[in-house]
Amino acid sequence: MGCFSAAAILIWAVGLPERAAYLSPRSFRAGETPIAPEVGALAPPLRGLSPTGSPFDLNAYRGTPLILNFWATWCAPCIQEMPILEKFHQRGVMVVGINVGDSPSTILAWAEQYHITFPLVLDPTGQMSRQYRLLGLPATFQIDRAGVVRRVKFGALSESELEDWTDSERQP
């Protein structure tokens, strides 16, 4: 069986993600940008709390390009990319880390140990992860000033990849 046939059977059996689940509460109209965790769509809204209890709302970052990274303290590739994310944050790139499943005290101790200063948000139930249809950790989304997803990476980002992402945001 060829690769195409196998892929067609897999898509038939599993199906494609339902974009309708991410559409805005109002009815979708032609020409509108859908809300979905995919390139070219508005990033799904996120609201939550930091490990210290401060409120977080992704909409507050509208107008600022950002890197949204889903991670966990037990994830080896997440640990590998954290110094890279922190380095870019120190250079002025807005980075937000969504922690999947760790306790606030674990996250705070971990952030102190690894000198992480960018905003961290709790996803204790995995709701945000499901909303972004994560395939695993880490997962990173580049979101532009208008709130549109520009790039998605499942797996650890390299420094050169993140450099390409941030360079593309600076270009008019």
Output the DSSP codes for the chain: --HHHHHHHHHHHH----GGGGS-SSPP-TTPPPB-SSTTSBPPP-EEE-TTS-EEEGGGGTTS-EEEEEE-TT-HHHHHHHHHHHHHHHTT-EEEEEEES--HHHHHHHHHHTT--S-EEEETTSHHHHHTT--SS-EEEEE-TTSBEEEEEESPPPHHHHHHHHHHHH--
Domains and CATH numbers, the chain: 3-170 (3.40.30.10)
Residue 23 has pLDDT above 70, yes or no: no
Report the mean per-residue pLDDT for the chain: 85
pLDDT for 36 equals 87
Per-residue model confidence as pLDDT tens digits over 81-126: 999 999 999 999 999 999 999 999 999 999 999 999 999 999 999 9
Residue 26 has pLDDT above 50, yes or no: no
